[in-house]
């Protein structure tokens, strides 16, 4: 079963505007997307990063490929954090 999830927000001009239109497979997925969108409204500095993630995942094709891409993104982030931590430790010495 597919669920159509449409999220609206109140625009600066006071009009109700459609923000996102998703096709999701489960209510759980719909809830997760709503939480993600709420988080991004609270942290607008992360929106561009999320757009990049979405763009990569949209081209993945299968669920397996999406998981592989998520793994790669996580490993890249951990590598960046590790380098940052090493540089901070080096400065402290």
Domain count for the chain: 2
Looking at the chain, the whole-number percentage of residues with pLDDT higher than 90 is 16
**Same domain membership, residue 53 and residue 16:** no
Non-local (6+) Cβ contacts of 40 within 8 A are: 46, 47, 50
Tell me if residue 23 falls in helix, strand or coil: strand
Q: Could you give the dihedral angle defined by the CA atoms of residues 74, 75, 81 and 82, in that order, rounded to the nearest 10 degrees?
A: 160
pLDDT at 23: 64
- Evaluate if pTM is beyond 0.75: no
Would you place residue 75 in the very low, low, confident or very high pLDDT band (cuts 50, 70, 90)?
very high
Whether the per-residue pLDDT at 17 is higher than 50: the answer is no
Looking at the chain, the whole-number percentage of residues with pLDDT higher than 70 is 74
How many Å apart are CA 29 and CA 37, to the nearest integer? 12
**Same domain membership, residue 84 and residue 62:** yes
What 64-73 contacts at long range (C-beta under 8 Å, 24+ apart), as own/partner pairs, is: none
Q: Which residue has the higher pLDDT, 21 or 25?
A: 25
Range of the domain at 53: 47-93
**Same domain membership, residue 35 and residue 68:** no
């Amino acid at each position: 079963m597919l669920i159509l999830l449409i999220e609206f927000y109140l625009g600066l001009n006071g009009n109700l505007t459609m923000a996102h239109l998703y096709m999701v497979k489960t209510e759980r997925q719909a809830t997760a997307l709503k939480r993600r969108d709420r988080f991004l409204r609270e942290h607008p500095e992360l929106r561009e990063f999320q757009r990049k993630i979405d763009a990569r995942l949209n081209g993945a094709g299968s669920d397996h490929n999406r998981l592989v891409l998520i793994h790669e993104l996580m490993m890249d982030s951990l590598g960046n954090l590790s380098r940052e931590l090493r540089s901070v430790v080096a400065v402290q010495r």
